[in-house]
Amino acid sequence: MKVAVYYSNKDIRIEEMEIPKISDGEVLMRTKACGICGSDVLEWYRRDKAPVILGHEAVGEIVESRSSDYKIGQRIFASHHVPCNKCYYCLEGYHTACSLLRRTNYDPGGFSEYIRLSRENAEFGIYPLPDISYESATLIEALGCVIRAQRLAGLKMGQRLIVFGCGVSGLLHIILAKKKGVYTIGVDINEYKLNFAKKFGCDLVLNGNRDINTLADCIVLCTGSPQAIEKTFSCLDKGSVLVFFAVPSPDIRINFPITRFWRNEVKIITSYGAGPKDLDEALRLVEKMDLESMITHRFPLEKIQDGFLVVERQDESMKAVVTL
């Protein structure tokens, strides 16, 4: 089978490898589509693992099953990381901190023609697809991550939300918040993305190159830009929540006005990944959302290098999907 092996953002090679063999309790999926996530092009996050087969937003069709729960021909979304649902962290609701979740993954990766889903992945991470396209379904994982972040932040009707970074994740935050009756403000330095935010109902869009003089109950950072992080400080209202959904590279240091945070009881939280509860909700929502319109670029596996360059540039693109 063909696989795309990542060496760097500008060096992705199409190579051949054997189709994985499955054992009892496992499933073999024929990949139909896999999204290119913004985290896939973060070289500081990926280079140490190279060469590696990336891709964690895969959907496809079961072509071989040694699990009694699934049969050949089923259309599925497969979660790349799965929690055990019984450790201390899972029982406390921190599924994404589970040690099983941290060590499970696709074999070999989403950017491959076939994926072996281990016993754990098959037991805890397979979701039958509703009546949506494979391409739209590549956004399920990202939507689950957004659902988790907003749940942790306690975002609710009548509040004001500012989203810094109106890429795919930012757009999903805006769409989900609007469904909750939240007033949404999108901030970006890219007018193309601001126009997308307006198209999807964002109440107010602002160019991040200018001063942002508005307060919010919740601010979500969908960018690791230090300049964006510092701009959030002037937007935090008393009792508000600052959510780090994206983070800067490890060498970046940010100075926080902690005394002001203390006096105003501002909360800083982080959100990493999605748990089963979040993915269940994402599956319930996807049929009611126009995810197809978010996909601006499609690439066959052989052209995945072009896809990575499009996502890395972050100019006139939203969601890029690799189709197989």
Give CA–CA dist 308/257, Å, rounded: 37
Tokens of 324: 């197989």
Tokens of 189: 């330095």
- Reported as type and span, the H/E element at residue 204 is strand 204-207
The pLDDT value recorded for residue 73 is 98
Give CA–CA dist 286/3, Å, rounded: 28
Query: Where along the chain do its domains lie?
Result: 2-139+291-323, 146-270
Give CA–CA dist 130/126, Å, rounded: 13
What amino acid is encoded at 222 in this protein? C
Q: Strand, helix or coil at 112?
A: strand
Q: Which CATH architecture has domain 146-270?
A: 3-Layer(aba) Sandwich (3.40)
Instruction: Specify the pTM.
Output: 0.97
Domains 2-139+291-323 and 146-270 share a fold: no
pLDDT in tens, 88-122: 999 999 999 999 999 999 999 999 999 999 999 99
pLDDT in tens, 257-304: 999 999 999 999 999 999 999 999 999 999 999 999 999 999 999 999
Mean pLDDT of 149-173: 98
2-139+291-323 falls under which CATH superfamily?
Medium-chain alcohol dehydrogenases, catalytic domain (3.90.180.10)
pLDDT, averaged across the chain: 97
What amino acid is encoded at 18 in this protein? E
Confidence band for 314, pLDDT divided at 50, 70 and 90: confident
CA distances from 213 to 10, 237, 239 (A): 39, 11, 17
